[in-house]
Chains A and B, each alone.
Chain A
Amino acid sequence: MADFLYLFWNRKEVAQQMAKATPEEWQKVTGRWTAWLEELKKTGHIQSLGAPLQMAGKMVQGPQKRVTDGPYAETKDVLGGFNLVTAKDLDEAAELAKGCPILETGGQVEVRPIRPM
């Protein structure tokens, strides 16, 4: 078994809409996430529960340590959260990621192997 990081990339416009979502809509989305994560937990794939990120943030860059408003903006997506999972290999980790609700709204899940310590 090995550990992997899921990075949840959300479409920017989706993320912006979500910021204005009604409680009802929030509940629906949250429900889908909870269901998926529960499933992973039950099958022993959750290594450490990650967290959703707020849209705000800062970028610090280069030797001059220039600070600009975040999040990282050079793509059409924005990082919405992360999770640490355990899987047999990279392929299984990618397979498991297919259940992630972010995919329904055109987002992406980046699966990255973690350097074993």
Chain B
Amino acid sequence: MTEEVPRLVDHLFRREAGKMVSYLTKVFGMGNLALAEDVVQETLVKALETWPFNGLPDNPSAWLMRVARNRAIDLVRREAHFKYIAPDLAYLFKLREEGAAPEPQREKEIQDDQLRMMFSCCHPDLSADAQVTLILKTLCGFSVSEIAHALLSQEDAVEKKLGRARKTLRESGTFVELTNNLDIPRRLETVHQALYLLFNEGYHGSRSDRKEPEELCYEAMRLTLLLCEHPQGQRPKTYALLSLMCLNAARLPGRLSDDGTLIQLEFQDRSKWDPALIGKGLEYLERAWAGQAVSEYLVEASIAGLHCSAKAYAETEWGRILELYNLLYHLKPTPVVALNRAIALGKAEGLEKGLEELRNLPGAGKLREYPFYPAALGEFHLLAGRPKEAEAYFAEAVKRSRNEPEKVFFERKLKSCQ
């Protein structure tokens, strides 16, 4: 019987909440972000109270948008002061008179609303962390507790962060208009960083009790795709970022075993990787390379592309991967990049060379808590036939592990040395 119950698209309300908040903020002005969020809440509750009895509307998204818009018009009518602060009032009333605009045009406007919101959330005075929090709240329809859960934070900390961020936006006054050819290119960099951070929060979700860390990955991909579809976002760097996300997300299904433990790249079942996402990733990678600018996203995506293209682990092109890591280290000289470069060096030019590099890793001091550093040393010793040395390193990795899957993974490694 259950399958005959009309079903909503997964996460539809989240999606629509993001669209409605973006639209309503345009209507009410940036200073009234909280009001926009209230109207959206009201709209969703109204849907909850009527749809189960009246049946699903033919077009749920359009129903929600219409109800939210009518509520906005009522509020604007009632509150005279909106006449002064609502920048887009004329537009709103025009819509009311015209009735429904043609669907494709409407769709385009909604996309623009969301992009405008995205650029506005990436205000230069906000920390990257605050930007991501704001994006999750306004564009992705996450509640405070869902954000706290996703970003491994506390609810009151998230609440405070949002409050401060809203204040910053309110004081800055206006939206960044998509037609603003000065601010938009300047902010694009920040938008990229926020989306990259959002994706990585989901990808490296460092807590095992998180139900669906991948959700953040998909939210990041959705927003990046939106950016790729707009002239202001169509830059090689945006393509590279989307490519990187696709190629990493494609491999998510192979990353964990059925009992939830991490599987090393070497032992992953490559048939579980998502071929459609790999195809998309490679397509965007090609478009990114066609541009002139080499970015860290482009290099990272290229590395991910080589892993995805290798039919088996033994066929991995380590020589090319090493070249790319050399380039990446040049662009982004962080200890973690150095670590990955050393691993690639060992794979490409021999274990002892890799070990030598690992022992003299630049910035190793900053990796004092990073479990994968001793794990890499352990792995190389193990491969070189020195299980005694390897054991000590894996024991250290177990000590440093940050969550259950990591701990289980390193413990297994430790056992294999004995």
What is the CB-to-nearest-CB distance from B145 to chain A, in angstroms, rounded to a whole number? 20
| CB within 8 Å of A: which B40-72 residues | 46, 49-50, 54
A residues less than 8 Å from B49 (CB atoms)? 115
Minimal Cβ-Cβ distance residue in B for A117: B50
Inter-chain contact total with CB atoms closer than 8 Å:
5
B residues less than 8 Å from A117 (CB atoms)? 50, 54
| CB within 8 Å of B: which A60-117 residues | 115, 117
- Chain B count of residues within 8 A CB distance of the other chain: 4
Question: When A and B form their complex, which 5 residue pairs have the shortest distance between CB atoms, in order from nearest?
Answer: A117-B50, A115-B49, A117-B54, A115-B46, A115-B50
Residues of B within 8 A of A (CB): 46, 49-50, 54
Give the interface SS of chain A, mostly helix, strand, loop or mixed: loop
- Chain A count of residues within 8 A CB distance of the other chain: 2
A residues less than 8 Å from B54 (CB atoms)? 117
A residues less than 8 Å from B50 (CB atoms)? 115, 117
Minimal Cβ-Cβ distance residue in A for B53: A117
What is the CB-to-nearest-CB distance from A5 to chain B, in angstroms, rounded to a whole number? 13
Minimal Cβ-Cβ distance residue in B for A115: B49
What is the CB-to-nearest-CB distance from B20 to chain A, in angstroms, rounded to a whole number? 18
A residues less than 8 Å from B46 (CB atoms)? 115
CB pairs A–B below 8 angstroms (5 shown): A115-B46, A115-B49, A115-B50, A117-B50, A117-B54
Q: How far is the CA of A117 from the CA of B52 in the complex (A)?
A: 12
What is the CB-to-nearest-CB distance from A46 to chain B, in angstroms, rounded to a whole number? 21
What is the CB-to-nearest-CB distance from B69 to chain A, in angstroms, rounded to a whole number? 15
B residues less than 8 Å from A115 (CB atoms)? 46, 49-50
What is the CB-to-nearest-CB distance from B246 to chain A, in angstroms, rounded to a whole number? 42
What is the CB-to-nearest-CB distance from A62 to chain B, in angstroms, rounded to a whole number? 20
Q: How far is the CA of A117 from the CA of B46 in the complex (A)?
A: 8
Q: How far is the CA of A115 from the CA of B49 in the complex (A)?
A: 8
Q: How far is the CA of A13 from the CA of B387 in the complex (A)?
A: 86
